[in-house]
Structures are given as C-alpha cells and as structure tokens.
Amino acid sequence: MSIVSLATGDPTCNLSDLQALATANNFTIQPNSANETAFLLFANSFDATCQAVQNLPKYHDPRLEPLQVEGGERTYYRPDEIENPLNGWAHKTTLRLPGAKGVLAGKTIGFKDNVSIAGLPLGLGCSPALLKDGKHPISTIDATIVRRVLEAGGTVRGTATCENLSMFALSYTSDSGVVHNAWLPGYATGGSSSGCAALVSIGDVEEARNSGRDGRKYELGEGLDMAVGGDQGGSIRLPAAYSGIYGLKPTHGLCPYTGIASLNPMIDHCGPMTRTVEDTALLLQVLAGYDGIDIRMSPESPLRENVPDYTGDLSAWIAKKKEVGEWTPTTSAKGLRIGILQESFQAPGLSEEVRSTVLAAANRFRTLGADVKTLSIPLHAHAASIWTVATRPQMPHFIANNPPDLLTHPLPDLDPSFPTQDFFDNLANRNPAVVNVLMNAAHIQQRYGPALVRKAHMHAWQLRAAYDQALEDFDVLLTPLNPTVGPRHPKGTVKTEANPHGRSERVMELFEPAIGNTLNTCGLNVTGHPALSMPVGWGRVGDDGEGRLPIGMQVVGKRFGEGMVFRAAKAWEVGGRWTDS
C-alpha cells in the first residue's frame, strides 16, 4: 500500500502539528516548501497506520489467559485494619484449581502487589491518582508465575503490600501506609516486597509464641506459607533479612517475569520468600523455567522440563552425608568452600552489631567442617555505583509501562501518568526515591549523555567476571545484608488525626534511613548471580535495648547454581537455627 493511498482519508495532522513534531526533534522545516508538503503527507500516513492498530480488538497471549478456578468467579476484597494489623495485605482472595493437586497442595501463597493476578487490582503500592484514569487497573491476565503456582496445586490468597512503585528498601512508603515488622510492630519490615516478608514471617512469630519463647500478645492477622517477591536492587533479600525469613533472588532469567511491572529488564527478578530452605527450593522449582515470552530469559535459561530438582537434589545430598556420618554439627559443611567477601564488611553504614553477627555466622562454617577463607573483590565497592548508572536512565521508560525494544508481553491496562506536578506532589513526601530516580535519569542525560551509561554497562560485565572468577575458587560467597537491624518507622509516616495519610513533611526523614541499604545487594542484580537472604541472628532495638529484630546473611552462588546455595544454607542450620540464638 502506498503512502498516498494511506493518507487519502481526512488528515489528522496539520501544519502546526508538523512544526511541533520537528521542534521535538530539534530541527525546523522550511514553511511553504516541498519538504513541508511531503512530510505533512508522511505524518498523516503514519497517523493512519497508528489508527489501524488502534482499531484492532485487544489481544492477550493465550499462555497468560486466566485459569478457571474453583467457584468460577474471581473475587477479592481489601481487608480492614482489624483483619490486617500489619498492613501486609493489599487484597485478599482464594484461588485454586478444581481438585488441585501437586507439590504446592495445601500451601498458601501470596504475590507482591506488582504481579498480575486476573480479577485483582494491580496496586503497585501507589495512589490511583498516579494513573491516567485515576484508578488501579484490574488485571486481565495471570502472570506466568501465578499460573505455575495454581497448576502446582497452590492456593493463591492474594496480593501483598509493596512499597510505592517498588522503589524503597524500607516499609513506610506504600500509599496504604506502613508495613509493620511481625516481630516488633512499629519497626521496618524492609522493602520493597514488604508485605510478602511480613505475612510469611507471621508463622515464625506464632511458633515462638506457642513454644513460650515470645510472650507478647499483639495481633498479627492471617499469614502466608510462601510468597513471591520482586527484586531489582535487593527487594526480596532485604525484607527477608529484616523479617527473619528466607528470600531468594534467583539467577537472572531463571524465573519468568512475564506479567509483572518492570523497573528495568536488566535487573528485574522475581523469587520465593519462605520460612525454610526446603520451601524456598520447592517454590523455586515451581516458578523456574523458560516461558517463551520473557525477554530476560536466554539460551542459558532451562526449559521447564530441564529445571533442576532442587528439593530432590538437596535431600539426596543430605542423605549421602548422613550415610557417611557427616550430617553432624562438626561435619555438615565438610567439602564446602566458603568465601567471606572482605569488601562487603566495609560498606559504609554497616553497624558493628550486624558486622559481628554475620561474621560469627560465616565463621560457624569452620566449626561445621567447611574450608572458610576471606577473599577480596575490590570492584564490589563500586557495585552500587555501576548498578545505579547502568540502570537508572531507563527506569522512567519502564515505570511508565513502555514496552522494551525486544518483543515481550506488556501489562495490558497499566497506564501511569507522569511526570507531572501532581506526580511530584504526591510522591515527594511519600516516596522521594521515585522522584529522585526521575531527576537522576534527566541528570545523566543532560550532563553526561549515553557514553557514561555505556561505560557502566561494560563495567557490569567486569563485575560479573569478578564474581565468576571468585566462584571458581569458592562454592558460595557470604556478605551482610541489612546494614542495621530494622529501624523504627519515621514519626511522620505514622497515621494520626493530624496526619491521617501518614505523609511526612520532611523528605530527609523518609530518605535517610534507607541510604546505603542496598550496597551489598544491588550489584548482584546487574551481574545476575543468585543470592539468598538467610536469617542468622538477632539485633537489639529500642531506646532501652529490650526489643530484638532479625539479622540476615547473604549467600551468593554461581549463576544457575541455586542448588549449591541451598546446600550451604542447610548445612549451616545443623549448627542450630537462627531462632535458637
């Protein structure tokens, strides 16, 4: 079809529109010229092409069509404060397949509120005022991981609160308010998968109460057996560490991200958050494997039928060690090569309490029979800077739900409205990190241009190679996670009669507690290595030091080497679970 025939309808672009298009591209077209006539025709031809696609009916890939659940209709509700005292729930439902059987049968699972579950709102932790139609869209697709959980017999109980647009490392920026730590309400759960961590950790708190180790009597509400969080810079691992559960950022491209709101495909990860190593391995086995849609997956990503039997492999390894008498508090880690990453213990802001607790946990591997050595990766000290510059310029593009350059399946109905003055006014005193990302992206574009971003991408390869080389000599690397134990929620985020929305008037009150939280985590998002947050001890909190909150340790493995990470974590537990300390 020719340009002329496409443009024979009523023109939608006039000369003023044409000149505006030229100005947007930093040039002008001579008025009353042949060029002006030709390019006006081109503009109207292109608009006719756009209208042709605009008029097509909506299409969803059938692999994402909602599964038929028990009862047929999918319903949901927003629980009130009495039912949801920690504010961990975004929306509750009950979805399972008829006659559900499978490895997750009897397990309850929740998803971070940036995951598409057909029939439920996609909340993103943000105000509906940030969306063009002023309301959260109701998802019309099931994310790949939702379908897999249902097909494995799991019961989907709903979505868990997440931090505003998934961009904060602590748990007080969600539009619905603070998410309380189940171990100590009033303190941070960690973010951005904050609700996931709070709801999963309820089980451990209840167990402590039932055993008489914790005599406090505040309300917890319903918890979850498992959850699936998202992680672009630490958003699974940090809340897991603050909350005393296990949280795995799998190898990049192992678990499909299809149907989940993106911050940047280079660093988008989703993964399990559970109370045990075994459940983490089990849920990973359900989630993992190529889905044929996600651009984050590569030739290294296993097909579904080739996903390792993580639970079976772990059980077989333990059985073999038991057979030779090595599953003991002095030999369970025999044969493992453990590396303590020196630079990770030098991160600015790391408290002495966290440093000493994680070092003691790392050194426990010696008593368990492992070969433990300290190693140095100097580039680790620059990992956060590399992550920031390599990924930040593209974040506004993906926050807006713009599709990437490669074919994928975007979220069908999500249409954020930014940047505007209303956008700034809504977020500056709720989650200033989002505004900061937009400002940073503009800063790089205006002052440095794409050359700096290209350089950061090349250094990301260098950082990956540095970790890869270290993991030739070690089975896993160990680092701290949360730089301090969970801090109190800032006063300005607590809802009162005078401040019913919990909106702080002081930006630094919100921002300062989160500074440096991702220094040991975000670099692994650009390199793609698997990293597990595992709880290893307690830290003191409160003015009198009488409160206590969990401390986590990060276990890093080779890319697609999750099995070894599970072995190391399980061997450590033979010396006693963290709750026993």
Amino acid at site 472: E
Question: What is the DSSP secondary-structure string of 487-521?
Answer: PBPPGGGS--SS-TT---S-HHHHHGGGTTTTTTT
Q: Rounded to whole angstroms, how far apart are CA atoms 374 and 346?
A: 13
**Does residue 235 have an active-site annotation?**
yes
Q: Rounded to whole angstroms, how far apart are CA atoms 251 and 560?
A: 6
For residue 416, which of 136, 177, 166 has the smallest C-alpha distance? Answer: 136
What is residue 557's three-state secondary structure?
coil
**Does residue 112 have an active-site annotation?**
yes
The half-sphere exposure of 442 on its side-chain side, counting CA atoms within 13 A, is 6
**Residue 104 class from Cβ within 10 Å (0-12 exposed, 13-18 middle, 19+ buried)?**
buried
Q: Rounded to whole angstroms, how far apart are CA atoms 459 and 387?
A: 9
What are the angstrom distances between the C-alpha of 333 and each of 135, 312, 365, 534, 574?
52, 18, 6, 16, 9
The pair of structure tokens assigned to 468 is 């890869």
What are the angstrom distances between the C-alpha of 461 and each of 466, 523, 562?
9, 11, 21
Given the residues 112, 249, 321, 570, the one annotated as active site: 112
Given the residues 235, 262, 344, 504, the one annotated as active site: 235
Q: Rounded to whole angstroms, how far apart are CA atoms 14 and 170?
A: 50
**Does residue 174 have an active-site annotation?**
no
Q: Rounded to whole angstroms, how far apart are CA atoms 471 and 429?
A: 42
What are the percentages of helix, strand and coil residues in the chain, rounded to 5?
40, 15, 45
What is residue 421's three-state secondary structure?
helix
Would you name the residues annotated as active-site residues?
A: 112, 192, 235
